Structure 1
Amino acid sequence: MSPHVTAAVAGETMNAAIRRSAEAAGVLLDALRTALPALIAAPFAPLLILLVALVPESPRPVRALADLERARVGALLGVPVPTPYRELAGGPWRRFRTALADPATWRDLLWLPVHGLIGIPVAALVIGLPPAILYSLTMPAWWWLLPPGTASAFVDVRTWPQALTLPFLQAALYVLLQLFGLPWLARALARMSASLLRPTGRALLAERVRRLAETRSEAVESHGAELRRIERDLHDGVQAQLVSASVRLGLAERSFGADPDGARALLREARTSIEDSLGELRGIVRGIYPPILADRGLGGAVHALAGGRSVPVLVRIPERLPRPPAPVEAAAYFLVAEALTNVTKHSAAGRAEVLVEPDGDRLRVLVRDDGVGGADPGGGSGLVGIRRRLAALDGTVEITSPAGGGTEIEAVLPCDW
């Protein structure tokens, strides 16, 4: 490697180290936003918890401060730190017991002094390092002007050989700490805060069980509603039409000898009624599991949904999209169908887009348009049922619909490819 290339690489490495050091210094100074209040609140936090029986809102300041730190370290580490608190509900005694039994309460009480006692000295180190480097580098120029033993670099500087060596070694140590120690400190403190403020394994398991119970309850409710819909459609539609056809066939049989023309008319009406019944049966079957999914897969089914609409729809699906499990495939299909129906009826959009793609061990479905926006997920748009259907499969739906900014519906479904 030529000397010029070596110098260029060394320069880039040094620039990167300086950039990381500056970013770390900013992060450590930003920690003062929570470290100072944490140190001040630490002696009073237990009192706030004891007051929860009388003042339900007493833990809120501590929790708000901890949430601010969660957001800060989550952005720094690139991994969100969830809020782990149990809900304070019920009477005073129940709120008191909930607060005391919540592991997050005690972890907050531990985090307050730890964060305050470490974060403030580290921030002071960040502030003091540049002057200390300048002090060490300039010491050979002025040490001899001070009384003996006043200037120090590791030890008191009393001779010229000491003045020409020790201050520069001290400055080098400070520079190394500035360039490489501060980034390490920033990451270490962020991980420490995250480890104290994130939910415990038991809390995560409890939340997971609660979420599963909720989604399973919604799934049972949705399944019951679907069964009632099918029963109603069969009873009020198909069954009534078949009964009507049976009556007409009986009348035709009785009147065939006396009134052949009337019997033929009754037969035609019975045939029409049976054809209508078959059409309704096909509609019911499509509502359970569309046959087009079995015939053409999710890609072909989505292309069929997008075709022939009054709003142009761009479909982006990989040609070799792996076949997801049938429940996942059906949930994705119905999501796209409902979303495109809303685009056609309510959005006043000029165009729409559907994206279906694998995302690791998940299936990602995105439907967006450039319409008027302002969609209300709970306003009877049909998306509530879709959300429940996806929740039963541990999927999630995010709806973004600012007024005048179009609508974007993104769903993520776990998928065992």
Structure 2
Amino acid sequence: MTRGSVSRAVRKSSYLGSTAPWRSAAYLLGGSLLGAGILVLGVVLAAVGVLLTPVLIGIPLLAALALSGIPVAALERRRVPLVEPARAPGPSPHRTPAAPGVPAWFRLRVREQATWRELAYAVLFAVVLWPLDLLVLACAAAAPGLLLAAPAHLAVSGGPGAGGVRPGKLWLVETYPAAWGTALLGLVLLLGLAYPLGAYAAARAAFTRFLLAPREAEAADALAEVTRSRARLVDAFEAERRRIERDLHDGAQQRLVALTMTLGLARLDAPAGSPLAGRLATAHDEAGRVLTELRELIRGIHPQVLADYGLTAAIEDAADRSAVPTEVGAPPRLPRLPEAVESAAYFAVREALTNIGKHSGATRARITAAHTDGVLRIDVRDDGRGGVDPSRGTGLTGLADRLAVLDGTLTVTGPPGGPTTLSVEIPCQAED
């Protein structure tokens, strides 16, 4: 039988035949045991912390007690799906520290509202909620259970004539017919009280989720943290690209240049027309082609012109290398922008020119770029056949994702028959 929501199951006639009553009882029993343990542990930590504070050992214990709501809340969020299986454990309202280590984690947690709200919940749980859970469980399950056990209780006590028994201290039962009647009453009570038991468990889970779910402001903070984390990843990615470009430029490329020069000198020393001269010529030409390919690879990883002279020069260089004649508009030269912005904009232009050369059938293209009012805008327009469909390839999708990290947008308009325009907008501030 599939596990469904207790709050929905309790309103159906099939409730008693489902797992919902058992899950409700397990949820409340787990809450009772967990709450009692938290109360005992909290009292012990508080007492020991206060006693040892004069010798400073108690201060870490009191700090741990102040943060004890965090693990309690995490456990409570994970217990909610026992009653509401369709809901995953509630998301944590806590942010990721910007720096590794316990001090950074502690400083962030102390400043978060969620930490103190979770501590308040832990206190409420230890003082009020778990006794209430235990009381409801006892009324709904323990009391009917005592009535159900009346025949066995009577038998253990010596049977009829031995003075009788009082199930649940309610009334005297001296005969087996009375004992079986009491057991039947206990069964009816157990089945009837299963409904309020389930309703209470569902309400208890909803209350927990309401108190421990992230608030709107905390969710916004978490979203901002995700955005900052993505930006840090982009910066790290760009730094790694530049490192690879430098390693190839200063290492492999220089060795290939030296190899090409050595092969060229060897060709001059070899007898003209000899087999050795032919093999050296072949090796020299092949080394030259490899060097050219390596330079193109380095330029594709991170063009040196972009790092040295900025986005305007890099766009002009990309236009010169385009397979389709490309004109660059003549606005004032762009200022130096953040490295991630320049790199994303440059590769957007490269991708646009590549697509124009491969798919558009265009005879000309034009690039315009400007930085005004804190926004970089670049338009790449061609006179091709149009009908562009960004969903057919991953290049534009990848560019859009990369720009989204910078709060930028990528827009492509290309009706059948053309023209096609790719527009990039990235909010950024000039660095010079």
Compute the TM-score of the two structures, normalised by the length of structure 1.
Answer: 0.41
Q: Which has the larger radius of gyration?
A: 2
